[in-house]
Amino acid sequence: MDLLNTLVDKGLRRELPTRDEALAVLATSDDELLDVVAAAGKVRRHWFGRRVKLNYLVNLKSGLCPEDCSYCSQRLGSKADILKYTWLKPDEASQAAAAGVAGGAKRVCLVASGRGPTDRDVDRVSKTIETIKEQNEAVEVCACLGLLSQGQAERLRAAGADAYNHNLNTSEGTYGEITTTHTYADRVDTVQQARAAGLSACSGLIAGMGESDEDLVDVVFSLRQLDADSVPVNFLIPFEGTPLAKEWNLTPQRCLRILAMVRFVCPDVEVRIAGGREVHLRTMQPLALHLANSIFLGDYLTSEGQAGRADLEMIEDAGFEVEGTDTVTLPEHRAAAAGCGSHEGGGCAAPGGPTPEEASAPEASAPEASVPEARTDLVAVRRRGAGTDLAPNA
List, as residue ranges, the binding site.
65, 69, 72, 109, 142, 202, 272
Give the separation between CA 74 and CA 290, rounded to whole angstroms. 32
Active site residue 69: yes
Known catalytic residue at 109:
yes
Q: How many Å is the Cα radius of gyration of the chain?
A: 20
Number of Cβ atoms within 10 Å of the Cβ of 165: 25
* Binding-site residues for [2Fe-2S] cluster: 109, 142, 202, 272
Catalytic residue of the set 19, 75, 124, 142: 142
Neighbours of 22 (CB within 10 A): 27
Are the C-beta atoms of residues 251 and 272 closer than 8 Å to each other?
A: no
Q: Which of 189, 129, 198, 194 is nearest to 165 (CA)?
A: 194
Given 14, 19, 65, 195, which residue is catalytic?
65
Nearest to 242 by CA among 72, 93, 362: 72
Catalytic residue among 44, 75, 109, 124: 109
Q: CA-to-CA distance for 323 and 352, rounded, in angstroms? A: 31
Distance CA(322)–CA(146), nearest Å, equals: 29
Q: How many CB atoms lie within 10 A of CB 179?
A: 20
348 is catalytic: no
Q: Is 266 a catalytic residue?
A: no
Name the residue among 132, 179, 177, 130 with its Cα closest to residue 156: 130
CA distance 230 to 223: 9
Q: 382 and 299 in contact (C-beta within 8 Å)?
A: yes
Q: Known catalytic residue: 340?
A: no
* Catalytic residue (one of 272, 277, 334, 382): 272
The catalytically annotated residue of 72, 144, 255, 266 is: 72
Residue tagged active-site, from 19, 75, 157, 202 = 202
Closest to 303 in 3D by CA, of 270, 321, 282, 279: 279
Catalytic residues: 65, 69, 72, 109, 142, 202, 272
